[in-house]
Amino acid sequence: MAKDTNMSDFRWIGTRPDRPDGLDKVTGRARYGADIQAANMLHAAVVRSPHAHARIVKIDTSKAEALDGVKAIVTRADFPTGLTGEDWDLQENTMAGERALYDGHAVAAVAATSAHIARDAAKLIEVEYEILPHVIHVDDAMAEGAPVIREGAAGPAVPPGLHPNVVGYTEFGHGDVAAEMAKADLVMERSYKTEATHQGYIEPHACMGQLGSDGKGEMWVCTQGHWYIRKMCAAVLGLETAQLRVTASEIGGGFGGKTTIFMEPLSLALSRKAGGRPVKLVMSRSEVLRATGPTASASMDVKMGMTKDGKITAATANFRMQGGAFPGSPYDMALYCAFAPYQIPALHHVGYDVLANRPKCAAYRAPGSPMGAFAVESLIDEMCAELGLDPMEVRIKNGSKSGDKASYGPTFGVIGLEETLVATKAHSNMSVPLGPNQGRGIAAGYWFNHGGETSVSVALSEDGTVQVSVGTPDVGGSRASMALMAAETLGIPYENVRVNIAETGALGVNEPTHGSRATFASGKAMHGALTQAINEMCKRAAAKWKIDPEAVEWKDGAAVPAGPNAGQFPPMTIEQIAKKMGSTGGPISGHHESVPGGVGASFGAHVVDVEVDPETGHTKILRYLVVQDAGRAIHPSYVEGQYQGGAVQGIGWALNEEYIYDDMGRLQNPIFLDYRVPVASDLPMIDTVIVEVPNPGHPFGVRGVGETGITPPLPAIANAVAAATGARIRHLPITPTKLLAAIKAK
């Protein structure tokens, strides 16, 4: 739909009605992963490796089997063999084979008649280990002599001569870097590091699986994407995919971490072994932190050239990331995003994906982008300080515009970075005077957004109300945005739309709620499905009026003659059409299946004011501003919520959060007391500005808003701390100890 069409006045889009699932969620009625019971249900527990790297010599389950109430025990011997590629990785991560590859790696699982008995039985399973040398940090893991985690895992792009732990490699760029660097007045090279952080969703992973000897199964699971769960469980267990029916529970946060499987196949394997009884498996918090996917840690070198008047002439980036004991760190996406906000004549990127003895990383909100932004946006700030330039003006000067070629190759469509930076510059937070020990930091950030496989159905009910079935679980209010867009498209009240998250048996394949795609992709597909239903309703009216269907159009919730030549008929409302549909041709519905194109990227800019206590090194966030291009805010409150939540996760990453390992490679902080996410008293209000540069690729201009917001906080806070103290921290998190040492070392 053309841009001018999606600029028109709306009745529903942009309003802030109560979310459709609000009542369930404030009364405790909403059912999450662990809130299910089934007749004859068993409870499961998992035995996990206490070692970072160890050969599994022997597993003795005899004592556990002898315990009353134990109904099934599974080890890797209960899984099919011969898997390859990502399927093998998923299976190996679900249950260790010959070796445990990280602290927390599952080695056996047990199902029993109560959770207590299952946990008791898990303790009775005796595992004999031969401890192997391990490696935790990315630069160590690439170094000569580092323990080899898996031979032959390197992808085809990896050049010869690198350590076997290097499993992925990329190199790309454009322009003559040496020549452009030579035009710069200042060339600076710095190294930056970020630590692994966890998505930290408050709901631990939970599922209930049931699988019969006939290979037919059911699963209830908290997930961002139940078709992924179905596909991955089927692959790991050797099932026929369509025989497994997966229902997504309400989900207590995901942020990318619930787009894959961790323990779900174990419940199915246990169920199959226990004669098909349903098996419920709920992780503890320490299992979540030890054995689900945190993000990667990164070690990055960036070099940049800048002229005296703030033009960036050239840059190089060398990013190394470990994503645990399996390939898959977002080293490539980090590089794609790192320079995306800027137009730089010459660029060269090199990236390495490296194995380490840590849990298999999963996506975490704009995977890779925060790390890349930390390095690049910190360096820009350092160079601005050196050259005496205004960091905001430098960003505006070099900023990417619509139609520009992106740093990683493609050409941007309509983008709103310039509008975002201008709105940021004009915001009142920029002119609040700062006191002693206070500093202001700014940074920009980028995320691509995503289309992905999408299947949506809509159906008219007998009374003219409409049900919408989507496959993207509602993690943050997407039912509201879907209902608003449906009401807008049909011209009916918001309350007349019911949005259901359908199970895998009810729709074609859907990718998860990831990549900021739910409102974009399911919204666009829903628009297609509604258009189909509207066409059918117009056809029914045309038949009644005995005119050509082409002479009927849809307006304000009713079929009307398209013009004076079509004839004089009163509007036929959706209620009237619905009431008669059984006798005018049968049920009216609409379907749309596609991989929606027209994805619109989202840029953001953040401004943070901090105050650093010079005696303790503690950083307090005084005020925080998020400005981001939403394309179109369907329900502005939930757009603001995404901005605020993303910013606060970034604040946690910048100041508190990190995976801490001891010399044995054991995670030292696997509870929320020690893995400290931001709490209410750490924070001020998070100010937001929603910039709307509509995406022409979406019927209402939506871009997707979920991810960009976690990207700028890392550098913005480091920049603010540097402004407040003169101390530049290039290794997150900025803990009081680290900052105090840096202030003293000045």
Partner 1 sequence: MSKVHVSTTVNGEPVEFLADTRDTLLDSLRDSLGLTGTKEGCGTGDCGACSVTVDGTLVCSCLMLGVEAQGKKIETIEGMANGAELHPLQRKFIEHAALQCGFCTPGILVASKALLEKNNNPTEEQVRYWLAGNLCRCTGYDKIIRAVMDAAAEMRGAA
Q: Which positions lie near partner 1, rule CB under 8 A? A: 16, 18-19, 21-32, 34-35, 37, 114-116, 199-204, 250-255, 282, 284-285, 475-477, 635, 637-638, 640-641, 644-649, 671-673, 677-683, 685-686
We find the least distance from the C-beta atom of residue 723 to partner 1, in angstroms, to be: 23
Q: Which is nearer to partner 1, 289 or 458 (CB)?
A: 289
Taking the complex as a whole, the smallest distance from the CB of residue 16 to partner 1 amounts, in Å, to 7
Evaluate whether 610 touches 601 at the Cβ level (below 8 Å): no
Within 13 Å and on the Cβ side, how many CA atoms surround 31? 11
Strand order in the sheet with 572-573: 552-555, 558-561, 572-573
Nearer to partner 1, 560 or 633 (CB): 633
Nearer of residues 105 and 205 to partner 1, judged by Cβ:
205
Distance CA 361, CA 354 (A): 11
Instruction: Check: CB of residue 727 under 8 Å from CB of residue 630.
Output: no
Contacts of residue 89, Cβ cutoff 8 Å, sequence gap at least 6:
326, 327, 328, 360
- Tokens for 336? 């794609």
Number of H-type helices and E-type strands within the chain: 20, 26
C-alpha span between 377 and 650 (Å, rounded): 14
Torsion angles phi and psi, residue 36, rounded to 5: -115, 145
Identify which of residues 92 and 611 has a Cβ nearer to partner 1 in the complex: 611
Shortest spacing between CB 83 and partner 1, in angstroms: 33
Q: How far is the CB of 43 from partner 1 (least distance, A)?
A: 9
Count of Cβ atoms closer than 10 Å to residue 684 Cβ: 12
Tell the smallest beta-carbon distance from residue 365 to partner 1 (Å).
11
Q: Maximum Cα–Cα distance for the chain, whole Å?
A: 86
CB of 229 to partner 1, least distance (A): 18
Q: Quick one: 479 or 524, whose CB is closer to partner 1?
A: 479
Query: What's the min distance (Å) between Cβ of 254 and partner 1?
Result: 8
**Cβ distance to partner 1 smaller for residue 592 or 635:** 635
Q: Which is nearer to partner 1, 418 or 640 (CB)?
A: 640
Contact 304, 120 (CB under 8 A): no
CB of 713 to partner 1, least distance (A): 11
Least distance from partner 1 to the Cβ atom of residue 460, Å:
28
Question: Nearer Cβ to partner 1, position 284 or 532?
Answer: 284
* Burial of 132 from C-beta contacts in 10 A (0-12 / 13-18 / 19+): middle
Neighbours of 265 (CB within 10 A): 28
Say which amino acid occupies 542: A
Choice between 475 and 734, CB closer to partner 1:
475
Residue with smaller CB distance to partner 1, 116 or 744: 116
CB of 657 to partner 1, least distance (A): 11
d(CA 445, CA 511): 25
Q: Which is nearer to partner 1, 21 or 195 (CB)?
A: 21
Q: Is residue 573 within 8 Å of residue 554, measured between CB atoms?
A: no
Cβ of residue 29: shortest distance to partner 1, in angstroms? 7
Nearest to 341 by CA among 451, 272, 421: 421
Calpha distance 714→710 (Å, rounded):
8
CA distance 264 to 501: 20
Separation CA 395–CA 444 (nearest Å) = 8
Q: How far is the CB of 222 from partner 1 (least distance, A)?
A: 9
Q: Closer CB to partner 1, residue 568 or residue 681?
A: 681
Phi and psi at residue 180, to the nearest 5°: -75, -35
> Reading across the β-sheet that carries 126-131, which strands appear in turn?
99-100, 54-60, 126-131
Residue type at 533 in one-letter notation: A
Strand partners, 192: 300
Distance of alpha carbon 366 from the chain centroid: 6
